[in-house]
Structure 1
Amino acid sequence: MFTIKVIFFDTETNGLNCRFCRIIELAMFTVVDGEVVEEYDKFVNVGKPLDPKITRITGITNRDLTERGVSEEEIAYDLKKRLTENTVMIAHNCQFDLTFVYFLLKRHFPDEADEIVRKLDWIDTVTILKDRKDYPHKLIDAVEHYDIEKVNFHRAIDDTRALYQVTLAMKNERNDLGEYRNVFGYNPKYGVGGKFPFIEYKPQPYHNCGCLPEERILPRKGLNQRMR
């Protein structure tokens, strides 16, 4: 029997540049065949103090990292163990989280990192949300749009729980999430930095009043008929 494994994941980081900044919290909410099997949440001791701005945004303190944080090496091994072939990885603004996960793995498994991320399927819920509702498109906007119970945003584990509920609501709204596997939308005004060869990048312009069906990242063949 084919097993469906989905990991809803989120990272909190000490900056925006994936090459030089680090993950300071990683959360993974794992569902196998529709059943929640693990809630993973760990702080990462990156060995240097946080900018106060990061603490204001995330609520994560230097004390959290020094007293409760584990090594980046431990996080890398945890990821490698869980990112098994055919796993579906779902994140809100997945390109951001994927790049940080990739560079973390690259530091610790330089010969394996590319294969680890390539053998997975990646779904970006921002791309889906932009196809379905007007601006804005943050996770909190998705939570409000789908009437999900409010959570403590900008803490990774709470974000993954909210993301799970949002994804279920999206699936119930229109069951086409599988068509978004490895398809990331991007704003053509800004382009995409650090493209992955296994991801198909499609321009997804800003829309303040929703987009017409023919302007969506999807439809692919047959979607227009299903929406009628």
Structure 2
Amino acid sequence: MKVIYFDTETTGLDCACCKIIELAMLTVVDGEIVETYDEFINIGCELPPKITKITGITDEMLIDEGVSEERIARDLKERLTPDTIMIAHNCQFDLSFVYSLLNRYYPDEAYDIVSSLDWIDTVSVLKDRKDYPHKLVDAVEFYGIEKVNFHRAIDDTKALYHVTQAMRKDRDDLKEYLNVFGYNPKWGISGIEFKFIRYEAQPYHNMGEKLPYSEILPNKISKN
């Protein structure tokens, strides 16, 4: 079984007009970490100052260390093989950006690539475990995990890996969250609405009431 924990840093919140500037992936196969992937992306334009302030990523870093979007799209296509489980914190956001990038370079294949995978949103899981707030830093604190340099994709991805292990140890029901994303009914679904994801209303203050799940979801989660 292959699981990829992943995170993106972007130029903004809208996948229709904003771009990924850093992509990190931690690939686990049969319980062993087999690849740590972290790349800056040279998007060919200046970053909004607020993004540099939040992430610490500068234009110079993207120019000096960044690779092309085409290279990232090729890397994603190579790694996102069918039946891989993709895990992200606020997965709807990262999935929307990953799909948008793939679609720019592989428009005939992008949807098939992302729909052949299984997706878990750890924000949806966390909302069923603790009351508001639900950022990754809150999950790290909740589970007593050593803090990292948040808002850098590779550090967030490593933290996500440890958070997910803690979630599984806390309550072994992650299989129930495969391809089920919660969303705040006050704001609706953000990004691209994917047909292979089931979206369920999930308020921020959700303690005591879990998301409704399908009884036929496959058990694909083990020790990864």
Structure 1 length-normalised TM: 0.92
**1:202 match:** 200
Q: What is the alpha-carbon distance in structure 2 between the residues aligned to residue 143 and residue 218 of structure 1?
A: 25
User: Is residue 8 of structure 1 aligned with residue 5 of structure 2?
Assistant: yes
**2:74 match:** 77
Deviations 1:3-48 (A, max 9, x none): x100000000011110111000000000000000000000000000
**2:137 match:** 140
How many equivalent residue pairs?
214
Q: What is the alpha-carbon distance in structure 1 between the residues aligned to residue 135 and residue 161 of structure 2?
A: 15
**1:180 match:** 177
Q: What is the alpha-carbon distance in structure 2 between the residues aligned to residue 175 and residue 32 of structure 1?
A: 19
- Residues 68-217 of structure 1 aligned to structure 2 (within 5 Å): 68-193=65-190, 194-207=192-205, 211-212=207-208, 215-217=209-211
Deviations 1:66-106 (A, max 9, x none): 00000000000000000000000000000000000000000
Counterpart residue type for residue 22 of structure 1: K
Q: What is the alpha-carbon distance in structure 1 between the residues aligned to residue 96 and residue 151 of structure 2?
A: 18
Structure having the higher Rg: 1
RMSD: 1.0
Asked whether the equivalents of residues 131 and 204 of structure 2 are also in contact (C-alpha less than 8 Å), the reply is: no
Q: What is the alpha-carbon distance in structure 2 between the residues aligned to residue 105 and residue 147 of structure 1?
A: 36
Instruction: Using the TM superposition, give the Cα deviation of residue 218 of structure 1 relative to its aligned residue in structure 2, in angstroms.
Output: 4.4
Provide runs of 4+ in structure 1 moved above 6 Å. none
Counterpart residue type for residue 41 of structure 1: D
Q: What is the alpha-carbon distance in structure 1 between the residues aligned to residue 163 and residue 47 of structure 2?
A: 31
Instruction: Using the TM superposition, give the Cα deviation of residue 211 of structure 1 relative to its aligned residue in structure 2, in angstroms.
Output: 1.6
**1:224 match:** none
Asked whether the equivalents of residues 183 and 199 of structure 2 are also in contact (C-alpha less than 8 Å), the reply is: yes
Instruction: Using the TM superposition, give the Cα deviation of residue 219 of structure 1 relative to its aligned residue in structure 2, in angstroms.
Output: 6.0
Counterpart residue type for residue 20 of structure 2: I
Deviations 1:156-200 (A, max 9, x none): 000000000000000000111011000000000111132100000
**1:18 match:** 15
Q: What is the alpha-carbon distance in structure 1 between the residues aligned to residue 167 and residue 212 of structure 2?
A: 14
Q: What is the alpha-carbon distance in structure 2 between the residues aligned to residue 218 and residue 16 of structure 1?
A: 28
Counterpart residue type for residue 78 of structure 2: K
**1:226 match:** none
Secondary structure of 1:104's counterpart equals: helix
Counterpart residue type for residue 149 of structure 1: E
Distance 1:174 1:218, change over 3 A: farther
